[in-house]
Every structure is written in C-alpha cells, then in structure tokens.
Amino acid sequence: MKFLDSNVILRYLTGDDARKAQRCHALFERAERGHEVLYTTALAIAEVVWVLASRYRHPKAEVVEGIRRLLNTRNILVEEQEVLLLALYLFERHPIDFIDAYHGAVIQARGLTEVYSYDTDFDRLPGLARVEP
C-alpha cells in the first residue's frame, strides 16, 4: 500500500500536465486491476475539492463527479469514505462549501443535531440546528 497525495489526484482529474496525467491514469488503472493499493485521507480529498473549485474553477457538478469516481475506485482506500460520500451529497445539493458539507456529514454520522457556529451555511442543512454561543 502506498499513500496517494492530493497533487496526484489533481493531475489525474485535470490532465493539466499531459505526461504526469498519463502516469496518474496508469496508476489508477493498476489500482482498479488490483496491482496497486492506494490510501489517502479526508484532508487530501478536501484539498482536491478546494483546488478544483477555486484554482481551476471547475463547476461543482464536475468536482463532485470526479471525487465520487475516485472514492468508488477499487483499491483506493480513503479514510472516512462513507462520511466523504455524504459530504459530496450535501455539497452537491446545497449552496455551501465542501468543508461545511464535510462537517455536516460528520455531525450527521455521529448522530448529532446541533452545532455551535456563526456560519449560516449550516442553516441550509436539514435536520441540523445552528446555535450561536
């Protein structure tokens, strides 16, 4: 097993450097075939989402589709995969940023219903009450 850094995921999803993108595609194909096992973190995924949306200005739908495809690739293990899939769902359906969607998913996964925050994005998530301290 090897760690998969966010910049490799970005090369794969953007193809902004053709040579590196080709090697990244080959790596992901090896994982899909069972010849490689890759591991990454929720933080790496959050970084990819942020870079795709802010630097590359990819539409939200493209970002979600690319990350969802990655999370469902065989032999790419991602910590908190189920939470990340829920975060993608919330991010896709509500006008909030990915980090707030991720926190909303963590809150739901832990069975919580309230969050102390001044961030009104949480008001957009059903079943979650934002409380100001």
Burial of 84 (0-12, 13-18, 19+ CB in 10 A): buried
Q: What does the angle CA 123 – CA 41 – CA 14 come to, to the nearest 5 degrees?
A: 85
Tell me: do 61 and 101 sit in the same domain: no
What local confidence, expressed as pLDDT, does residue 89 receive?
A: 97
Backbone angles phi, psi at 100, to 5 degrees: -65, -40
Measured over the CA atoms of residue 80, residue 85, residue 91 and residue 94, the dihedral's sign is negative
Each residue of 14-67: pLDDT tens digit? 999 999 999 999 999 999 999 999 999 999 999 999 999 999 999 999 999 999
Each residue of 82-94: pLDDT tens digit? 999 999 999 999 9
What local confidence, expressed as pLDDT, does residue 30 receive?
A: 97
- Residue 117 belongs to what domain range? 95-133
What are the counts of helices (DSSP H) followed by strands (DSSP E) for the chain? Answer: 6, 5
Judge whether 111 lies within some domain: yes
Per the structure, the count of domains in the chain is 2
**Do residues 87 and 98 touch, judged by C-beta distance below 8 A?**
yes
Tell me: do 38 and 70 sit in the same domain: yes
Judge whether 89 lies within some domain: no
